Amino acid sequence: MAPHAEHTNGYANGYTNGTNHATENGVKTDLFTVDSPNVVYTDDEIKSKYIYRTTSVAQGANGKYVATPRETVYDFKVERKVGKVGMMLVGWGGNNGTTVTAGIIANRRGLAWDTREGPRAANYFGSVVMGSTMKLGTESKTGKEINIPFHDVLPMVHPNDLVIGGWDISSMNLAQAMDRAAVLEPTLKAMVKKEMAEMKPLPSPYYPDFIAANQGDRADNVLEGSKACMAHVEKIRKDIRDFKEANALDKVIVQWTANTERYADIIEGVNDTADNLIKAVESGHEEVSPSTVFAVACILENAPFINGSPQNTFVPGAIELAEKHGAFVGGDDFKSGQTKMKSALVDFMINAGIKLTSIASYNHLGNNDGMNLSSQKQFRSKEISKSNVVDDMVEANNILYKPGEHPNHTVVIKYMPAVGDNKRALDEYYAEIFMGGHQTISLFNVCEDSLLASPLIIDLVLIAEMMTRISWKAEAGDGANTKDYKGFHSVLSILSYMLKAPLTPPGTPVVNALAKQRGALTNIFRACVGLQPESDMTLEHKLF
Ligand SMILES: NC(=O)c1ccc[n+]([C@@H]2O[C@H](COP(=O)([O-])OP(=O)(O)OC[C@H]3O[C@@H](n4cnc5c(N)ncnc54)[C@H](O)[C@@H]3O)[C@@H](O)[C@H]2O)c1
Ligand SMILES: O=P([O-])([O-])O[C@@H]1[C@@H](O)[C@H](O)[C@@H](O)[C@H](O)[C@@H]1O
């Protein structure tokens, strides 16, 4: 019997409305299987043997490079059972939190609503996992490219099945907060209002010095105490356990989508090591931020924690604590509009041999995020994450740029209440071209910020949860003799596509080029089912 598609909404290829939730008698079926001696399927696991091919380069005495192909044989193991997953948001009552919640409810119920441009239906556009495809291969007879939904490459949780909860320093229920956010159409809000009115954020730690003073008026749902303490850590841990138990969850993923905090000073003896950070929390050190308190709590509770804002939540002590406990962390700062465009455009220009010499990035917005960012210390956190996004692309091209040479780059953010959540981003890219010429690219990019960020929140949860069910060991080559399966490194740099300032394991390079980030994510997931990276060489169409 053909798989019965749930939530049908007319995708040409028979897939359902962004859910790709094909099922057979209620059980999600795999869209494809890999026919290879290197891939073994059981009811519970997919095991694959993967030859990882790299090129190591050494510079000889004569200054010439010697490139040596290398092979490492990895064994990957994927747990196929998805389980019941919870998503807990810090800042749940904010524009992002209310919007992503309403969006998941609308998709789960297959809602459609009237707008000035006519009826609209719930979708997951803007989500890489739910809205994009990847090339599986080419049809053996016709050579036709076969693309599959990204969501189907591995057994991933479906966002419709996420159980949502979270915290906010504002006591508004999610329906009231959705109205305050002023992001969604009234017709849609009316359809989800009842369900969202039942959702009430848990009280949260509030340390006024870390966010703008203009946020104080909404802080009526706070835990006692205005600086870090173990009581806050233990309360958050209990909140996670209670949420898990109340909803019979197998796993909870936590995300920070609360206000941007100022940077915390990195102080030796305070937040430089895991032990010192715990001591600093115990002693109530004023340099430990609410987001770092959440990170500590999630690490100790083994709930993956992702920071969607630009502040340095993951101080060195937090990273060390995560490594010590084998807990997953990721961040920083959702990459939703202006910066996402920048990381693609700069990659294209520099790889086209065009010498970018100046990037001017201005934007104004009128939501509460913008109001918080109107305070200099909070803006500085955002300025850092928005400015560093071109570094790797520039450093990779020593033809255009001398060592240490960079394009001029300025970031301006202004708070203009009138435009609400609909941020206006104005960018100018100025470049040197052939024989003294110049190219000027000017962009005007209206980003409905929460509608762009919400799908990223979903992707971050889906991918982080998937990573908790993937383990590896090395058979031969570099890093060989890993006897037992183990998880990926605690710092999930695989999440970088969704983030402006990707967190990476200490000492490893930061990749911001958008295409490379997507390639890494795609090819690691392909490797988990024994498939080589898609090289786009298509030699079968060139050598005959
Ligand atoms: N929407 C985007 O395009 C985008 C992109 C990148 C990053 N971000 C970041 O995501 C975050 C959320 O954005 P938003 O537009 O939803 O902002 P928002 O101001 O609407 O929501 C933030 C919420 O966090 C709450 N909050 C503040 N401190 C808290 C604490 N200690 N504990 C719990 N809740 C707390 C606030 O009450 C508010 O409801 C911001 O830091 C923003 O910079 C947003
Ligand atoms: O992701 P992106 O569009 O470059 O960046 C956005 C900024 O342009 C905006 O000013 C800020 O309020 C959002 O939080 C987000 O960080």
pLDDT in tens, 269-297: 999 999 999 999 999 999 999 999 999 99
Mean pLDDT of 200-225: 98
Mean pLDDT of 514-534: 96
For atom 6 of ligand 1, which residue has the closest CA?
Answer: 334
Ligand nearest to the CA of 334: 1
Run of H or E including 292: helix 290-301
Does the Cβ of 373 fall within 6 Å of ligand 2? yes
pLDDT tens digit string along 373-424?
A: 999 999 999 999 999 999 999 999 999 999 999 999 999 999 999 999 999 9
What average pLDDT does the chain have? 93
Mean pLDDT of 83-94: 98
Distance 456 CA to ligand 2 centre (A): 13
Distance 527 CA to ligand 1 centre (A): 35
Claim: this prediction has a pTM higher than 0.90: yes
Does the Cβ of 451 fall within 6 Å of ligand 2? no
Does the Cβ of 91 fall within 6 Å of ligand 1? yes
Percent of the chain with pLDDT over 90: 89
Mean pLDDT of 527-531: 96
Does the Cβ of 93 fall within 6 Å of ligand 1? yes
Does the Cβ of 413 fall within 6 Å of ligand 2? yes
340 is catalytic: no
For atom 10 of ligand 1, which residue has the closest CA?
Answer: 257
Residues in CB range of 173: below 8 A, 6 or more apart: 196, 197, 198, 199, 200, 201
Percent of the chain with pLDDT over 70: 93
Q: Dihedrals φ, ψ of 213, to 5°?
A: -60, -25
How far is CA 408 from each of CA 170, 429, 514, rounded to the nearest angstrom?
Answer: 40, 10, 20
For atom 3 of ligand 1, which residue has the closest CA?
Answer: 449
Mean pLDDT of 235-258: 98
Distance 337 CA to ligand 2 centre (A): 7
386 is catalytic: no
ipTM over 0.95: yes
pLDDT of 332 > 80? The answer is yes
Ligand nearest to the CA of 311: 1
pLDDT of residue 7: 33
Q: What angle do CA 516, 405, 357 make, to 5 degrees?
A: 80
542 is catalytic: no
The confidence band for 29, taking pLDDT boundaries of 50, 70 and 90, is low
pLDDT of residue 143: 86
The confidence band for 538, taking pLDDT boundaries of 50, 70 and 90, is confident
Distance 239 CA to ligand 2 centre (A): 30
Which of these ranges, 4-8, 103-107, 247-251, 435-439, has the smallest mean pLDDT? 4-8
Annotated catalytic residue: which of 168, 239, 332, 333?
A: 333
Annotated catalytic residue: which of 423, 427, 449, 459?
A: 423
Ligand nearest to the CA of 425: 2
Does the Cβ of 166 fall within 6 Å of ligand 1? no
Q: What is the DSSP string of 179-211?
A: HHHT-S-HHHHHHHHHHHHT--PBPB---GGGS
Contact indicator for 359, 481 with CB cutoff of 8 Å: no
